[in-house]
Structure 1
Amino acid sequence: MDAFKDFEAANERYVETFGAKGALPLPPAKKLTIVTCMDARIDPAAHLGIKEGDAHVIRNAGGVCKEALRSIVISQQLLGTQEIAVFHHTDCGMLTFTNSDIKSLLEERYPAAADEVKDIDFLPFANLEQSVKDDVQFLKQHPLVLKDIRITGWIYEVETGKVRQIV
């Protein structure tokens, strides 16, 4: 597949309506950081009504906060965000495997990298609601995350587009 071949034409259409977005300030207007999954079915701007310049959106496999910590700290300490919303979602791939599963697969496919594979925690989870609660608790307890800020946890339903607050 050569998806990149569409980039320039799509960008030309985007530039036509770009307007004054180049003058948006660096810190997000809503002082909000969103941590969510990289799943291609998720469009946080669309389902949360945020626009360019409103929030930092940090994405990774599962929307796991341990992996997003570096970006969260930079967002807060250097760019002034004061609220964090954690979003996990239904039908998440992170619910479908264990560390053992993926490590075995990778060791089989890449035997020369077996030592590197054993040191990686792929951060899968077995319970969706608990994973949201665990991430929120992780952030609340972490010494580098600002205290006395609002940290909420949510589940996005890929089947319906609805969000529901868990924490």
Structure 2
Amino acid sequence: MPNLNDFSFRAQPRFNESEFRPLFAKAVNLRTVLIHCFDPRASEVPAVVAQHFGEVYPGENVLDEAGNRVGHTTTLFPVSVAGGRAVAGVQSIATMVHLFGIERVVVVHHSFCGATSFTTDGIIDAFKHEHGSDISSAFDHDSICISDFESSLKYDAGVVRAHPGVPRHVEIYGFFYNIDTGELTEVVSDIPDTVNA
């Protein structure tokens, strides 16, 4: 078995983290992080959001002369999580900000999402009863289910904005996606005033 750590960037000759980050960001020009639900009925959300913002998705691999994958043309990074809740995506957002200097975060919740089929107290009680586990303090109470789409999108945009891994200049949007019509409806638009910043 090969030493799998040989396949990390840090293991490469002459690796220097401070020099690597700008090169990495140039090789993969990501501008937008998308947090959306992993429900397969909403699988076209990344393409719809990319079209809305004029982003490239899914894009193509960029190959060097030897055929190695050294870059990519996509400008949108989708993060699929339960219910499209931002709390499950903030680590990915912070990582993408660090590596690529992300300009925009988009949170999308969709119609007839499974996260609308239960309440926070209901899932906590079910875990106690069915699994003998108390998850009441394991998660942010307001990020577990979706009881109202407008409220959940505003809440999630606030979670993103308040996170220390998201610089003030990053734009934050919240959209509702209708899985039957393909319509994307803007609910939240948090665009910092860069003139007075």
TM-score (norm 1): 0.74
CA RMSD, Structure 1 to Structure 2 (Å): 2.0
- The structure with the larger Rg is 2
**Post-superposition shift, 1:80?**
2.2
Equivalence map 1:83-162=2 (5 Å): 83-111=104-132, 114-115=133-134, 117-121=135-139, 123-162=144-183
Residue 127 of structure 1 aligns with an amino acid whose one-letter code is: D
**Count of residues in Structure 1 that have an aligned counterpart in Structure 2:** 140
Corresponding residue for residue 166 of structure 1: 187
Corresponding residue for residue 58 of structure 2: 51
TM-score (norm 2): 0.64
Unaligned runs of 5+ in 2: 1-22, 52-56, 60-73, 189-197
Residue 76 of structure 2 aligns with an amino acid whose one-letter code is: A
SS in structure 2 opposite 1:36?
strand
Distance 1:110 1:140 in 2: 34
Distance 2:158 2:48 in 1: 25
**Post-superposition shift, 1:39?**
1.0
SS in structure 1 opposite 2:90?
helix
**Post-superposition shift, 1:143?**
2.2
Identity of paired residues, percent?
Answer: 24
Corresponding residue for residue 91 of structure 2: 70
Unaligned runs of 5+ in 1: 1-24
Where is the helix percentage greater, Structure 1 or Structure 2?
Answer: 1
Deviations 1:106-146 (A, max 9, x none): 233223xx24x343336112110111111112212222211
